């Protein structure tokens, strides 16, 4: 702080999704600090791997501070898991839990602005996430910095590969792992069917 830039707490879901928001928010005149609060990531080994990936990149490449906030996994089970495969309801509850903790942390640390990397991935529910942050931030006396980063997702994919970062193939919870596996199987079956019909 004291750089003439506007301090901002940037909730980060993982390292690869942080690359472009950090760069773009800095270009806009913000000075982001990253906040980790992702009790949705299962199993715990996967959670720890994503956190480590983020911290290594933040320290060695991006030179940005990472605050590790609360990771209440029991609260996630109570709030999000009961929605099961009702994806919209489950993700809404999941966003709300994580973004509320990020907002609480922002207030505690004296930030006025908050943003999230959740909206980089086109696989996230953009409008649902927007509604959640737009409702939560003012309740904590914060200004939400909402940007559509989705156009930068391909660049984030390329850059994270170049940096050798660990890249997960599901969002985080056990339901998303099952949903992603089903989608991969369906895509594989469709490829096989096209090949068999001579349209490969």
Q: Which residues bind ligand SF4 (CB under 6 A)?
A: 40, 80, 90-91, 94, 171-173, 175-176
Task: Compute the least distance from the CB of residue 96 to ligand SF4, in Å.
Answer: 10
Task: Compute the least distance from the CB of residue 94 to ligand SF4, in Å.
Answer: 3
Task: Compute the least distance from the CB of residue 88 to ligand SF4, in Å.
Answer: 9
User: Based on CB atoms, which residue is closest to ligand SF4, 62 or 96?
Assistant: 96
Cα-Cα-Cα-Cα dihedral of 186, 190, 195, 198, to 10°? 170
User: Based on CB atoms, which residue is closest to ligand SF4, 17 or 62?
Assistant: 17
Quick one: tokens of 59? 């320290």
User: Based on CB atoms, which residue is closest to ligand SF4, 80 or 115?
Assistant: 80
User: Based on CB atoms, which residue is closest to ligand SF4, 83 or 104?
Assistant: 83
């Amino acid at each position: 702080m004291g750089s003439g830039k506007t301090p901002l707490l940037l909730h980060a879901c993982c390292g690869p999704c942080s690359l472009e928001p950090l760069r773009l928010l800095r270009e806009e005149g913000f000075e982001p600090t990253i906040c980790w609060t992702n009790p949705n990531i299962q199993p715990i080994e996967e959670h720890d791997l994503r956190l480590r990936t983020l911290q290594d990149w933040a320290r060695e490449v991006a030179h940005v501070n990472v605050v590790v906030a609360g990771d209440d996994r029991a609260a996630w089970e109570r709030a999000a898991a009961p929605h099961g495969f009702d994806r919209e309801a489950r993700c809404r509850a999941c966003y709300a839990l994580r973004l509320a903790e990020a907002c609480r942390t922002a207030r505690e640390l004296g930030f006025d602005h908050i943003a999230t990397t959740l909206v980089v991935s086109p696989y996230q529910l953009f409008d649902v996430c927007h509604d959640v942050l737009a409702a939560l931030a003012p309740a904590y006396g914060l200004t939400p910095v909402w940007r559509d980063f989705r156009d930068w997702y391909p660049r984030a994919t390329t850059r994270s590969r170049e940096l050798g970062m660990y890249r997960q193939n599901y969002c985080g919870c056990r339901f998303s792992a099952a949903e992603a596996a089903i989608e991969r199987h369906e895509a594989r079956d469709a490829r096989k069917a096209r090949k068999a019909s001579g349209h490969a």
